[in-house]
Amino acid sequence: MNGICDGRVVVVTGAGRGLGRAHARAFAAAGARVVVNDLGVGLDGTPDPNSPAARVVAEIHAAGGEAIAHGADIATTAGAASLVTTALDTYGRLDTLVNNAGFLRDRMLVNLDEDDWDAVLRVHLRGHFLPLKHAAAHWRAETKAGRRPEARVINTSSGAGLLGSLGQANYSAAKAGIIALTLVAAAELHRYGIQVNAIAPAARTRMTQHTFADTMATPESGFDAMAPENVSPLVVWLGSTASAGVTGRVFETEGGRITVMEGWRPGPTADKAARWTPEEAGETARKLLEEADPPGPVYGAGS
């Protein structure tokens, strides 16, 4: 199979279902050899006896592509390290890492216990950090050995990480952290030939099946705007050498729409050049707020 990623080796975490499965299949169709990682857990992170990674590998093989399954926990040091080792031992190289694994444990804030907080941050945030760390260490070593890579990392954030989402304080915090991790990694790793970007996708997956349950293909166009396969073309491009020079960016993508997110930038400012009184600070803050653009609504809170 030939395409934009011909000859590249790509690792996709959480690739047994939903977005990860769509990404793995799209990379294979674009010529990449793919390491399909999936721990095989339920929506809430509990063990699932029927791990789907092997099924995705079989689908890729049936379509004429190359892939291998990886079932370790990438939120552990050993699991993340073995992810990189599997790519190197099987295919002799690693070019692209797509961090996608995650699950939900939704609760309103006052009902959210520590275990649910820790579990979601573990799989989303640590599950991004550790594979990124081990892949970057390999690429740094390659650069120091005189073999500068054209490496790519695509992290998966969410609109919840950009705006927040009711009932998802843990998930929103983790996804916001992934954006900050992306920005730091892009700045630190560029010298080693590594580009790091993030996407904030909207698609119908196990985690969003209730949100987008009624959004299907329209009879007129036949286009299913919430199909996870709509997100993958941008991910494949970001994971290819064609994206040279693009790093430290966050893209929101849904259906046929791609948006470059511009993040936190300074807005209206006042400087007294001395200490404010509380009353002065409050009056000034209100004036600045009148000049500022209002924030977007938190998901689930209405407009």
pLDDT digits (tens, 9 = 90+) for 184-208: 999 999 999 999 999 999 988 555 4
Greatest alpha-carbon span in the chain: 70
Which pTM value belongs to this model? 0.90
Q: For this structure, is 82 an active site residue? A: no
Q: Report pLDDT for 247.
A: 97
**Quick check: 118 and 75 in contact, CB under 8 A?**
no
Mean pLDDT of the chain: 91
Beta strand pairing status for 257-261 and 96-98? Answer: unpaired
Instruction: Clarify whether 158 is annotated catalytic.
Output: yes
Amino acid at 68: I
Q: Distance of CA 65 to CAs 185, 204, 227, 292, Å?
A: 31, 25, 22, 51
Which of these is catalytic: 82, 157, 158, 240? 158
What's the average model confidence in pLDDT over 200-226? 65
Please identify which of the residues 171, 172, 240, 299 carries the catalytic annotation. Answer: 171
- Rounded alpha-carbon distances, angstroms, from residue 9 to 30, 136, 211, 302: 11, 15, 34, 43
Q: Rounded to an integer, what distance in angstroms lies between the CA atom of residue 143 and that of residue 74?
A: 24
CA 28 to chain centre: 19
Domains of the chain, first to last:
9-261 (3.40.50.720)
Q: What is the mean pLDDT of residues 132-144?
A: 98
Determine whether 299 is an active site residue: no
Q: What tokens were used for 61?
A: 């093989």
Region 269-273: what's the mean pLDDT?
Answer: 97
